[in-house]
């Protein structure tokens, strides 16, 4: 297999497995570092928004205008961008409410014995959360993989941002499953498996998208990736960062993420 493909797949795998990191944090730390999580989630959103609007959208536009002309290329870029947003919004809409991964959990919850009950409904909620996160992670895997193939430096930035975003999701899976079963191994396993849909997305992109990849296909995919990442940032990362927030730390993280991404793009021109 081509070295670039292995690199892109490895980045996608790393980003997906960060859900397991969240699970480990839930089991082996005594408290949630809310300042760090707020800063990190804001930072991740800043990276994703900036790189989507400044770099990925622009590359999609250049590819499409070059392939089909200025007017149609501009329209296709915008259609791809909002198409990506609609795709991830539909995924959100059809996920059962009790399994929505946006419900934040804290590590402290693991240390409250009164919450520990062998409750099938709680296990169902944790399992639904794992499934919801797996569904969310699939298009994120496509985004990371295709970006890394096109531009390794861009792929690294996106993979790190998505990995940060996956850590609290790992906590969200582990906490209810642990409460319902008392089994740390089972909680970790489901958390870990929910992240594997990201490399599955990369594999799907390899087999079903790459064989048909031309400038038009590339432009539409990249525009869609930009839309997906902006939606995730606005709908998931920033609201989560604000829930953990103390003293505008999430916004400082957002600005820092944008600034670092801008600097890295300037340095790699």
Copy the structure tokens of residue 165: 């975003």
Residue whose pair of structure tokens reads 């915008």 in the numeric block: 78
Is position 169 annotated in a ligand binding site? yes
Is position 140 annotated in a ligand binding site? yes
265: phi then psi, degrees, rounded to nearest 5: -70, -40
Q: Rounded to the nearest 5 degrees, what angle is found at the Cα of 110, between the Cα atoms of 106 and 113? A: 135
- Write the burial class of residue 144 (CB in 10 Å: 0-12 exposed, 13-18 middle, 19+ buried): buried
Is position 137 annotated in a ligand binding site? yes
The three-class DSSP label of residue 104 is coil
Cα end-to-end span (Å), the chain: 28
How far apart are the C-alpha atoms of 179 and 4, rounded to whole Å? 42
- Write the burial class of residue 247 (CB in 10 Å: 0-12 exposed, 13-18 middle, 19+ buried): exposed
How far apart are the C-alpha atoms of 75 and 86, rounded to whole Å? 16
Is position 166 annotated in a ligand binding site? yes
Q: Which residues contact residue 8 at a Cβ distance below 8 angstroms, ignoring those fewer than 6 apart?
A: 144, 145, 146, 148, 149, 152, 155, 202
How far apart are the C-alpha atoms of 33 and 60, rounded to whole Å? 38
The three-class DSSP label of residue 31 is coil
Residues tagged in the binding site annotation for Fe(2+): 137, 140, 166, 169, 198
Residues tagged in the binding site annotation: 137, 140, 165-166, 169, 198
Residues tagged in the binding site annotation for Zn(2+): 140, 165, 169
């Amino acid at each position: 297999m081509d070295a670039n493909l292995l690199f892109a797949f490895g980045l996608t795998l790393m980003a997906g497995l960060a859900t397991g990191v969240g699970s480990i944090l839930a089991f082996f730390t005594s408290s949630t570092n809310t300042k760090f999580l707020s800063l990190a989630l804001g930072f991740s959103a800043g990276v994703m928004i900036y790189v989507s609007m400044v770099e990925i959208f622009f590359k999609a536009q250049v590819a499409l205008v070059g392939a089909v002309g200025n007017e149609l290329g501009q329209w296709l870029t915008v259609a791809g961008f909002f198409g990506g947003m609609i795709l991830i919004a539909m995924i959100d809409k059809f996920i059962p409410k009790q399994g929505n991964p946006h419900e934040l959990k804290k590590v402290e919850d693991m240390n409250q014995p009164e919450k520990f009950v062998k409750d099938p409904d709680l296990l169902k909620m944790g399992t639904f959360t794992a499934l919801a996160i797996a569904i969310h992670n699939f298009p994120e895997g496509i985004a990371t993989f295709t970006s890394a193939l096109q531009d390794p430096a861009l792929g690294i930035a996106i993979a790190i941002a998505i990995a940060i975003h996956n850590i609290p999701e790992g906590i969200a899976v582990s906490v209810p499953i642990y409460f319902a079963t008392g089994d740390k191994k089972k909680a970790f396993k489901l958390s870990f498996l929910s992240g594997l849909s990201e490399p599955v997305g990369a594999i799907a992109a390899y087999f079903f998208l790459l064989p048909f990849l031309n400038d038009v296909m590339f432009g539409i995919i990249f525009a869609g990736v930009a839309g997906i990442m902006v939606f995730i940032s606005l709908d998931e990362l920033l609201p989560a960062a604000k829930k953990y927030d103390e003293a505008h730390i999430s916004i400082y993280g957002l600005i820092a993420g944008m600034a670092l991404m801008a600097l890295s793009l300037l340095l790699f021109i």
